[in-house]
Amino acid sequence: MHAVLVMILQRLGLGVVTLFVVSVGIFGATELLPGDLASTLLGQSATPETLAALRTQLGLDQPAPLRYWAWATGVVQGDFGVSLATRRPIADMLAMRLGNTVFLALYAAALAVPLALILGILTALWRNSLFDRVANAGALSAISFPEFFVAYILIFILAQSGVFPSMVRLSPNMGLGDKLYVTFLPALTLTLVVTAHMMRMTRAAIINLMASPYIEMARLKGLSPLRIVLRHALPNALAPIIKVVALNLAYLITGVVVVEVVFVYPGLGQLMVDSVAKRDIAVVQAIALIFASAYVLLNLSADVLSTLTNPRMMRRK
Amino acid sequence: MTGEVLLQIQDLHVEGRAGEEWLPILRGIDLTLHRGEVLGVIGESGAGKSTLGLAAMGFARDGCRISGGDIRFDGIDLRKTPELGRRALRGRRIAYVAQSAAASFNPAHKLIDQYCEVPLLTGMARSTAEAEAVTLYRKMQLPNPEEIGFRYPHQVSGGQLQRAMTAMAMACHPDLIIFDEPTTALDVTTQIEVLAAIRDIVRDYDTAAIYITHDLAVVAQMADRIKILLRGQEVEEAETRAMLAAPKAEYTKSLWAVRSFARPEQPTPTGQPLVSVQAIRAGYGKVDILQDVSFDIHAGRTVAVVGESGSGKSTVARVITGLLPPRDGQVLLDGVALPQDYRARPRALLRQCQMIYQMADTALNPKLSLRDLIGRPAQMYLGLQGRALEARVRELLALIELEPDSYIDRLPQELSGGQKQRIGIARALAAEPRLIICDEVTSALDQIVQEGILRLLDKLQRELGLAYLFITHDLATVRAIADDVVVMQHGKVVEQGPKPEVFAPPHAPYTDLLLSSVPEMTPDWLTGLLARRHGKA
Amino acid sequence: MAVVIFLACAVLVSIPVSWGARRVMVAILPRNMARVARDMPLTAAFGVLVIAVYVFVALFAPLLAPFPERAVVGSQFQPWDSTHWLGTDRLGRDMLSRLIYGARNTVGIAFATTALAFLVGSVLGIWAALRGGWLDQVLSRFVDALMAIPALIFSLLLLTIFGTSVLTLILVIAAVDATRVYRIARSVAQGVVVMDYIEAARLRGEGTVYLIGREILPNALAPLVAEFGLRFCFVFLTISSLSFLGLGIQPPTADWGSMVRDNATLITFGNVTPLLPAGAIALLTVAVNFVVDWQLYRASGLKEQAG
């Protein structure tokens, strides 16, 4: 067990390093600009005086490592600085929306993960059957559809007739049931897109295993197909399946941006798109950092979890 | 052997899918097996012997189907029995031991859990099953029989896993066990123990067995009768002793003849060696794989480096070619030290030493035609172009006994395994080298094909005065082709010298173990060897 | 309900059409390619047909479109009629014409982006696999760090900094995607580099150019072509999503993503017109995916036979 603990600590250490590199990347991206941020923001209207003033205000007169240090220490304490467009503290703008986005992502995940795993296992079990072919063609199509297409089709079918609202209006004192109802369409959109990916990858992972000699051995021991899948394939498929789930939950992060815009959902994604349009770099950096951290953490936990399911890792020779 | 008939197969046909078509794998096989009898099934790759073994369980792999014939096990018609009924036989009355135990044990479960799976399904109590497992592990001469079951497959060595798998197959005291090449993946010295353990346990429990292998000498130790397959059809079947003494069919005789090839003895060399390997120490990372390895290769002679897996024999080749620069020592060519890294060697030096690989499949670029494959070295080293190049390629093809007109434009995938290996030889010859390193060049090939390759190499050596360095684990190859032998174990040279000296007693202890472990084609060899070894101990 | 019926009809129509397309391919292609075509599943035949139609429309857009791309030719949001088959958009431009020009712009830009990403990513990936050592380490760690940021998020960040124009769009998406291509190309090439024939070529004294061009690339091509299809889908969807968000291809250029965005309000009134450009995007991605799926299956099937 000691070796495993060391390895988990190593992974965590690596995760911290990755987060550091990612934050440097996100912060440092502005350094790629020809000229600097102030001249880009002011564009044609720049006069030497306004430029100088803006530079001082943005702290551009300081060297980059110092600015990064100030930014990073602020972020760690929950201070993301102020928006360039509205002059409001970014942390205040994010607080409410972060909760909303996490709610939507969890909602979609709760629907998608069990659905995808069940479908993936069934299609693998009944490989090449009609069910498998239909499920596969359906999944392939769902993957090919842009998120906004899926969203508008759902609106066209379910919202136009008034069954579900096409715009999400959240109020702070809403009950959970109401909230689930109001956010059903965006959650369903995300679910459809993510389920397709997850199902295909789960199926592939299991089919890959079913070709291995120890599965043939299990069949030659006269075991039932169900027992073979549950006892012989699944324990070995856990690691790849965990990876698949993590990868797709990470994919939700991307999907959430478009879906929030379609349904006018008050989350981080929508704020990000607005801020990109306004070129409010401070806000975009803050949100990008949050999304990227979630992404890194997801991959990290998948790594650790799949290690824990592998007896080779758990018990060395 | 006149017990009651246990398994009766008549006119069995099995087909395999190739795209939209079904191609025959087995074409009308008959087989009768009595209780307690061991039948050896021999064939080269593609003969359909594994398919036959699986069909005896009423099983066909994915992409295969049993298309005709009758399979009766103890009076039960396996083809008419529904899958559920066949499943009830498998593991309980017919068991299977696979070629690679390392891949056939589920990595996620302990050995004992995999052992107990079927007994528990038949209603046996867990404690009884475990106790019996320990008994069987002991019978199979596994170390620590009480504890070994509680390990995971990756914590146990290959030879031990193979024995544990046999124990697992014995768990429900089946009437019949199918052994599908159970020792092929093992080193010769490990093979002996596994063979002995399998033979004893099958006898003790009076279990019938079908023993599938490509190795005649192995099957001679194990089987009461031998059946020989060729491309899905039976060639002949006879009692083991009768078959060994007087094979009838031409094909069988040719199998026997393979082992008779031997190169005439060469005069003892004098003068400066072509290549001299001097006090090499080499390895990867912190580990030294080779320690103080020295030997000479003289022009026109064949040096065989022989050892089991992990002996470092392939690393020797990597040091000589410059792929792995040594930590100490040097390699001399004509008395001059070669640069240690191949990247530092000029083309003229690279040309002197060419390599032929074990797996011809991965040694030939599948996207290049034979013209390009063979032509490239001639173009590079000798500057041949256009017509001269074409003529040279044709000449080389003729030299390796392939018809130039019909082969020159083929891709490697259009060749058989033996032909691919010949292309590997032609590519080496195209550089007009003085030394060719042959890394296990025959071990992926069937025996008859092996002999053809060895004869070709021998002919070329005599015509062109080449020196060969043979890296091999197969002592039969060494006996056939070597002039000098270097025996290696754990990265060190145990013994070396001219072949007659090394192969004649007195031996170094490891050489003795290695030589005595090679199965011989007499049915009493294993019994005699074990008696001798136990007598000594 | 109407949607379900529509989908059912679409599937029913596409089956005989794909079957016909396969027959035509078998008839007109040279013999060895015709054999491949004969064995292709209907889904793949459908994919090939759809891709062919898109390419045709993109090439001959000016001849096919009844009205110019950017001209205001009617009042806003006109319904479908005989002059404007699919009505007009928010500014009174002809929907059908813009849909046709969209094939050229959206698909063309996505293709150029993918090609650029592939050129950079695969050359670097193969080079890294071949050289190994510090070069591989430096490149791979750099790519790892970039890939720790989700693609769309990273693109949005870069677009904020560099502003939105077609050129920056292509460069930004290509840069982000090149990291993914690098990963794939490197792992494919690593599979080839360990082969003995590469070692043989190295020991022969071959140079890097020969090794990549003659030994590695021909053997890495099949998986890379399939990956090109997948990457194209991904890039195409990303660019469409960005355009839909108003951050991609900018007006007045006709582009499917922004056409959906501009006319989305119609959907809530039960008008399907804005779904058409979205459907056009979906159809092409489905088609490419079908073909890629078939190619991957073929590659794996052939491998099994050889082994």
What are the tens digits of pLDDT across the range A211-253?
A: 888 999 999 999 988 888 888 988 888 888 888 888 888 888 7
Write the residue in B100, B107, B118 that is nearest to A311 by C-beta.
Answer: B107
| A34 located within any domain | no
Is residue B475 assigned to a domain? Answer: yes
The answer to whether A145 contacts C282, with C-beta atoms less than 8 Å apart, is yes
Nearest CA in chain B to A213: B104
Indicate the residue of A22, A29, A292 with minimum beta-carbon distance to C158. A29
A46 within a domain of the structure (yes/no): no
Please state the domain count of chain A. 1
**Ordered DSSP codes for C133-179:** HHHHHHHHHHHHHHHTS-HHHHHHHHHHHH---HHHHHHHHHHHHHH
Please give the pLDDT value at position B536: 61
Which of B8-12, B353-357, C27-31, C149-153 has the least mean pLDDT?
A: C27-31
The Cα-based distances of A298 to A106, A242, A247, A248, A293 in angstroms read: 13, 10, 8, 10, 8
Cα distance between residue B219 and residue B244, in whole Å: 11
Q: What would the two tokens of residue B38 be? A: 């061991």
Within 8 A of C205 by CB-CB distance, chain B residues are 345, 347, 350, 380
Contacts across the A-C interface (CB distance below 8 Å): 144
pLDDT confidence band for C307 (50 / 70 / 90): very low
Domain assignment of residue B463, yes or no: yes
pTM assigned to the model: 0.82
Domain span holding position B463: 261-352+433-504
Quick check: A296 contacting C, CB < 8 Å? yes
Q: Return d(Cα A301, Cα A303) in angstroms, integer.
A: 5
What share of chain C in percent tops pLDDT 90? 29
Residues of B in contact with A315 (CB under 8 A): 152, 155
| CB-based contact, B363 to chain C, within 8 Å | yes
Number of domains in chain B: 1
Interface test with chain A among B64, B105, B106, by most A beta carbons within 10 Å: B106
User: How many angstroms separate the CA of residue C201 from the nearest CA in chain B?
Assistant: 9
Nearest CA in chain B to A310: B108
Q: Is A252:A106 a contact under the CB 8 Å cutoff?
A: no
Contact B355 C203 (CB under 8 A): yes
| A288 in reach of chain C (CB within 8 A) | yes
Q: What domain range is A252 assigned to?
A: 90-314
pLDDT reading at C305 higher than 50:
no
- Token pair of B226 as six digits: 């031998």
Tell the CATH topology of C101-306. MetI-like fold (1.10.3720)
pLDDT at C306: 33
Please write the tens of the pLDDT for every residue from A171-185.
777 788 888 888 899
pLDDT of residue C301: 52
Please enumerate residues of B whose Cβ is less than 8 A from a Cβ of A.
54, 57, 59, 61-62, 86-92, 95-96, 98, 100, 103-109, 117-118, 121, 152, 154-155
Cβ–Cβ below 8 Å for B155 and A315: yes
Contact assignment for C278 to A149 by CB distance below 8 Å: yes
Q: Do A146 and C148 touch (CB under 8 A)?
A: no
Sign of the alpha-carbon dihedral angle for A101, A102, A105, A108: negative
- B394 lies in some domain: no
Which candidate, C169, C213, C172, C176, places its Cα nearest to that of C192?
C213
pLDDT at residue C65 tops 80: yes
Q: Does residue A211 lie within any of the structural domains?
A: yes
Assess if residue A17 is contained within a domain: no
At A262-300, the pLDDT tens digits run: 999 999 999 999 998 888 888 999 999 999 898 888 888
Which position has the higher pLDDT, C161 or B126?
Answer: B126
Q: What is the CATH number of the domain that holds B441?
A: 3.40.50.300
Predicted local distance difference test score (pLDDT) of residue A317:
44
Which among A22, A140, A284 is the nearest to C290, CB-wise? A140
Residue C279 reports pLDDT greater than 60: yes
Q: Is the pLDDT of residue A141 over 90?
A: no
CB distance from A73 to chain B under 8 Å? Answer: no
For residue B212, the cross-strand partners are B41, B180
pLDDT tens-digit series, residues A67-92? 888 888 888 888 888 888 788 888 88
Does the pLDDT of residue C302 top 70, yes or no?
A: no
Answer whether C200 touches B (CB < 8 Å): yes
pLDDT for B529 equals 85
Which residues of chain B neighbour C206 with C-beta distances below 8 Å?
Answer: 380
User: Is B27 buried (19+), middle (13-18) or exposed (0-12) by CB count in 10 A?
Assistant: middle
Q: What value does the mean pLDDT take over residues A136-154?
A: 86
* CA angle (A182 as vertex; A181, A183 as ends), nearest 5: 95
Residue by residue, pLDDT tens for chain B (537 residues) are 457 888 999 999 999 887 677 888 999 899 999 988 999 998 887 788 889 999 999 898 888 889 989 999 988 898 888 989 899 999 899 999 998 888 899 988 999 999 999 999 888 899 999 999 999 998 888 888 888 889 999 888 888 898 899 999 989 889 999 999 888 878 888 888 888 888 888 888 889 999 999 888 888 888 899 999 998 889 899 888 888 888 888 888 887 766 667 777 777 777 889 999 999 999 887 888 999 999 999 998 999 999 888 888 889 999 999 999 999 999 999 999 999 999 999 999 999 999 999 888 889 999 899 999 999 999 999 999 989 999 999 999 999 989 999 899 998 988 888 899 999 999 999 999 999 999 988 887 887 888 888 989 999 998 898 999 999 988 888 888 899 999 999 989 999 989 888 888 888 888 888 888 888 878 888 888 888 887 765
Order of all β-strands in the sheet with B21-34 = B21-34, B5-18, B64-73, B76-77
The residue ranges of every structural domain in chain C are 101-306
- Cβ neighbours of B10 (radius 10 Å): 14
pLDDT on residue B374:
94
Sign, Cα dihedral of B185, B187, B192, B196: negative
Q: Model confidence over A96-128: pLDDT tens digits? A: 899 899 999 999 999 999 999 999 988 888 877
- Compare all CA atoms of chain A with the CA of C282 and give the residue at the minimum distance: A145
Q: Which of residues 416-435 of B touch C (CB under 8 A)?
A: 427, 431
CA distance B142 to chain C (A): 34
Is residue C183 within a helix (H) or strand (E), and if so which, with residue range? helix C166-193
Closest alpha carbon within chain A to C267: A156
**CB-based contact B357 C200, cutoff 8 Å:** yes
User: Minimal CA–CA distance to B112: which of B89, B145, B140?
Assistant: B145
Q: Is C297 on the interface with B (CB under 8 A)?
A: no
Q: Within a domain: residue B438?
A: yes
Contact state of A221 with B91 under an 8 Å Cβ cutoff: yes
Res A36: pLDDT? 67
pLDDT at B4: 87
Distance, CA of B10 to CA of B13 (rounded, Å): 9
Which pLDDT score, from 0 to 100, does residue B434 have? Answer: 93
| AA letter at C229 | G
- Cβ contact (<8 Å) for B362 and C200? no
Q: Residue C272: what pLDDT? A: 81
In a domain, B114, yes or no: no
**Structure-token pair, residue B260:** 């008779």
Report whether pLDDT(C297) > 60: yes
Which residues, 6 or more positions from B134, have their beta carbon under 8 angstroms from its beta carbon? Answer: B145, B146, B149
What CATH number has the domain bearing residue A237? 1.10.3720.10
Assess if residue A2 is contained within a domain: no
Residue of C nearest to A276 (CA): C160
CB B471 within 8 A of CB B437: yes
Nearest to B367 among C201, C206, C218 (CB): C218
User: Angle C182-C186-C192 (CA atoms, 0-180°, nearest 5)?
Assistant: 150
